Homo-oligomer: A and B are copies of this chain.
Amino acid sequence: MASPKSYRAPVLADVARAAEVSVPTVSRVLNGSKYVAPELAQRVHEAVQALGYRPNGAARSMRSGRRTLVSVLAGATANYGYARTLQGVETAARRAGMTVSITVVESGDDEHVRAAIDLTLAQPTAGVIVLEFDRAGINAAKALPEGLPVVVAGGGSRRTGTVPAALIDERTAGRQATDYLLHLGHRTVHHIAGPTEGKHSGRTDGWRAALGAAGAPVPQIMRADWDASSGYRWGERIAGMNDVTAVFCANDDIALGLMRALSDRGLDVPGDISVIGFDDQPLVALWQPSLTTVDQDFEDLGTRAFGLLSQVIDGDGDAASSVTAPQLVVRESTAPPKG
């Protein structure tokens, strides 16, 4: 057995020598070209097996210009929505014979955005999918160089700028959730928003639109991080207010933190306060009370984003953006107001 140091991976020329054919012939066999005698093909395949040959991806993609790596640029990876979207992208890519790489954009700062882009484009990348759930993603989408296939996946209600996008219509969903609470008889609905949400958050826009259409007062937005502990902190404050009967939270984690805080203060959900979340994480159906929330199909989002990117790579720069509507899932955490 050769020492690991002296090991050199076999290359096409080695295979050609072993099979006693020319290098281009080996290439033809491996790429399934016709016009090659069955007997030679056989010899080549045997040589490949015997040597354990694997094509050098770098050389291959350099010469052919074909790239089989798609990059995902995202502000995070482990959060539920990000992870599921990534899963959708990976599955679709794998079925198409491509691989996905992932680069986290630490923040929306120019510096971090540029660093992430440089890192990503140092690979032979066929195209980029930007997860535009937060400021980091939005800024990254803007800073990508021209001429590179890019699509956006996110929660807008329409295509962002000139880049094709796969979207989940959060605005409609936010409106639907808020309408539902108003319909139950609540005078108005409070809202805990995520950190980067401003004018650009579909969830918040939908909430505002629903209140506006119903002529309901628009309470001050409460701003939180995406995690449960910041929902908990708002819960502590809300327990002290007495004009809050319904809260629409920007995601499930916030909602769960909020519910726990309310419960710790002796308030009942939904008896005293109704709560709606966003995302429909698997666990929220098991909570007590189970959480009314908005189901987002993140995996489908990832799949659509990859499909769109494929089109763009194939030259269809004007591929049509797609939008799907999330579903309100009514469970136990919402009820008509007391009295």
Contacts and interface: CB of A to CB of B under 8 A. Distances in A.
B283 A253 contact: yes
A91 B55 CA distance: 29
Nearest to A149: B4
Given A147-B7, A288-B263, A282 B228 contact: yes
Interface string A91-134: 10010010111111000000000001001111111000000000
Contacts of A52: 145-146
A22 interface: no
A295 B123 CA distance: 36
A122 B99 contact: yes
Interface in A22-81: 52, 54-62, 67-69, 71, 76-78, 80
A9 B91 CA distance: 30
Interface stretch (A82-90, A184-192, A203-211): A82-90
A124 B119 CA distance: 15
Given A56-B62, A83-B78, A101 B100 contact: yes
Contact of A99 (B5, B7, B101, B253): B101
A283 B286 contact: no
A110 to B, nearest CB: 15
Interface in A120-165: 120-125, 145-147
B78 A84 contact: yes
Contact of A103 (B71, B90, B315): B90
A257 interface: yes
Sort chain A's interface into a size bin. 35 or more
A55 B122 contact: yes
A125 B99 CA distance: 11
A121 B57 contact: yes
Given A57-B122, A283-B256, A99 B103 contact: yes
A57 B123 contact: yes
Given A124-B56, A283-B228, A91 B62 contact: no
Contact of A120 (B99, B119, B286): B99
Interface of A: 4-5, 7, 9, 52, 54-62, 67-69, 71, 76-78, 80, 83-84, 86-87, 90-91, 94, 97, 99-104, 116, 119-125, 145-147, 227-228, 232, 253, 256-257, 260, 263, 282-283, 286-288, 315, 317
Given A78-B83, A99-B102, 7 more contacts: A54-B145, A57-B125, A58-B59, A76-B87, A78-B84, A97-B119, A260-B288
25 contacts: A5-B315, A55-B122, A57-B58, A58-B58, A58-B62, A58-B67, A60-B122, A71-B99, A77-B83, A77-B87, A78-B83, A78-B87, A90-B102, A90-B104, A91-B104, A94-B103, A99-B101, A100-B101, A102-B102, A124-B124, A228-B286, A232-B286, A256-B283, A263-B288, A283-B283
